[in-house]
Amino acid sequence: MTLNIIKYLSSYTYNQQRKQEHFAGRERFRNTMETFPEESLFTYRMHNKLLRIYRSINDCCSLILVAYMGYAFYTITTTTYKLFVQITTQSYPQISYNVLQTCFTWLAMHTCVLALLSRSCGQVTDEANWTSQVLARVYSKSKDHQNIVDKFLTKSVKQEVQFTAYGFFVIDNSTLFKIFSAVTTYLVILIQFKQLEDSKTVNNSM
């Protein structure tokens, strides 16, 4: 639906109107621009309806997204830490391959889900913003038509198009990188505590 709106509006951009005026003649160009107010009104209404659907989906999924993001963050952090402990503290014959397989499976599963979620939310947000940019480039010659575009631009500036996890943070293409940055930070802290605990154990044994 969004792509259809973008293709539909492309005929009103400056370059397309210049081509149409050059090849089809001034009469056809004039007739096309006469229908611009009615057609643009339909397009703006459709765009606003799509934005309402976008926000409704975000509102319905916000709590689920927060819960899953927290669970995925906790699972990735603890699983990576267990994997580190298993590799560094156990000798080769004592390494449990079942534990390693389980850890890698959980890491791969949550990484794929987070990547898919971030990519999907980022694409939807980009499409919504792209539609606004196309609408902003709509070409019109008369002052009345320009007022229609100006009203939409004024309204679109106030509309915040973002997919969020209950307002705590924005979910987009950079979310996966942010999560793994946080996982790395907490993993370093856990490893430092583990090393401190091991050093105290060695000192007490001596």
Reading the chain (206 residues) residue by residue, the pLDDT tens digits are: 555 555 555 554 445 555 555 555 455 545 555 676 777 778 788 888 888 888 898 999 999 999 999 999 999 999 999 888 888 876 655 667 888 888 999 999 999 999 999 999 998 888 888 866 776 666 555 556 667 777 777 777 667 788 888 888 899 989 999 999 999 999 999 999 988 888 887 777 76
Sign of the Cα pseudo-torsion (53, 62, 129, 141, in order): positive
The residues spanned by each domain of the chain are 2-205
pTM listed for this prediction: 0.74
Query: Does residue 49 contact residue 5 with C-beta atoms inside 8 Å?
Result: no
User: Distance between CA 164 and CA 71 in Å, rounded?
Assistant: 17
pLDDT by residue (tens digit) across 115-145? 999 999 998 888 888 866 776 666 555 556 6
Residue 153 CB coordination number (10 Å): 13
Structure token digits, residue 23: 């090849």
List, for residues 13-40, the tens digit of each pLDDT value: 445 555 555 555 455 545 555 676 777 7
